[in-house]
Amino acid sequence: MKIPQIPAYELERLAAVRSYNLLDTLPEKDFDNITALTASICDVPIALVTLLDADRNFLKSHYGINFSESPRNISFCGHAILDESNIFIVEDARNDPRFHDNPLVTEMHAIFYAGVRLVNSDGYPLGTLCVFDKKPRTLSKQQKTALTALAYQVVNLFEARKRNRTLMSVQQELKEKNEELKNFAGIVSHDMKMPLANMIITSDMLRSKYGSLLDVQGKQYLDYIKQSSFTLSEYITGLLEHYESDKTASLNGESFDSHDLLEDIIELLNINIDCEINLPEENIEMHANKVALEQILLNLIANSLKYNDKKKIKIDIACTEENGFYYFKISDNGIGIPKDKMDHIFDLFATTGKLDRNGKKGNGIGLSTVKKLVKKLNGEITVSSTVGKGTSFQFNIEKLKC
Per-residue pLDDT tens over the stretch 27-37: 999 999 999 99
Task: Tell me how far the alpha carbon of residue 307 is from its chain's centroid.
Answer: 34
Mean pLDDT, rounded, for 128-137:
96
Instruction: Answer yes or no: is pLDDT of 190 > 70.
Output: no
Q: State the pLDDT at residue 231.
A: 67
Confidence of residue 154 (pLDDT cuts 50, 70, 90): very high
Q: State the pLDDT at residue 247.
A: 64
Q: What is the pLDDT of residues 49-60, one digit of tens each?
A: 999 999 999 999
Instruction: Answer yes or no: is pLDDT of 357 > 90.
Output: no
Q: Backbone phi, then psi, for 41, in 5-degree steps?
A: -65, -40
Looking at domain 252-398, does it have CATH number 3.30.565.10? yes
Q: State the pLDDT at residue 244.
A: 65
Instruction: Answer yes or no: is pLDDT of 240 > 90.
Output: no
Mean pLDDT, rounded, for 151-178:
87
Q: pTM to 2 decimals? A: 0.52
Q: Residue 219: how many CA atoms within 13 Å on its side-chain side?
A: 10
What is residue 400's DSSP assignment?
P
Average pLDDT of the chain, as a whole number = 88
Q: State the pLDDT at residue 402.
A: 63
Q: Give CA separation, 25 vs 12, 53, 60, 114, in Å.
A: 21, 13, 7, 24
What span, in angstroms and rounded, lies between the C-alpha atoms of 363 and 372? 16
Compute the C-alpha angle 90/94/100, nearest 5°: 95
Q: State the pLDDT at residue 191.
A: 66
Question: Which amino acid is present at 177?
Answer: K
Mean pLDDT, rounded, for 359-381:
86
Instruction: Answer yes or no: is pLDDT of 78 > 80.
Output: yes
Q: Among 5-14, 199-208, 378-387, whose mean pLDDT is lowest? A: 199-208
Question: Which amino acid is present at 326?
Answer: Y
In contact, 310 and 334? CB cutoff 8 Å: yes
What span, in angstroms and rounded, lies between the C-alpha atoms of 48 and 234? 65
Residues forming CATH 3.30.565.10 domain(s) in the chain: 252-398
Mean pLDDT, rounded, for 160-177:
83
Pick the more confident residue, 81 or 249.
81
Instruction: Answer yes or no: is pLDDT of 10 > 80.
Output: yes
Confidence of residue 246 (pLDDT cuts 50, 70, 90): low
Q: State the pLDDT at residue 85.
A: 86
Q: Which of the listed ranges 163-177, 194-208, 318-332 does the model predict with the highest average pLDDT?
A: 318-332
Q: State the pLDDT at residue 195.
A: 74
3-state secondary structure 48-101: EEEEECCCEEEEEEEECCCCCEEEHHHCHHHHHCCCCCCCEEECCHHHCCCCCC
Q: State the pLDDT at residue 238.
A: 65
Residues forming CATH 3.30.450.40 domain(s) in the chain: 10-167
Mean pLDDT, rounded, for 111-119:
97
CATH no., domain 10-167: 3.30.450.40
What span, in angstroms and rounded, lies between the C-alpha atoms of 266 and 228? 26
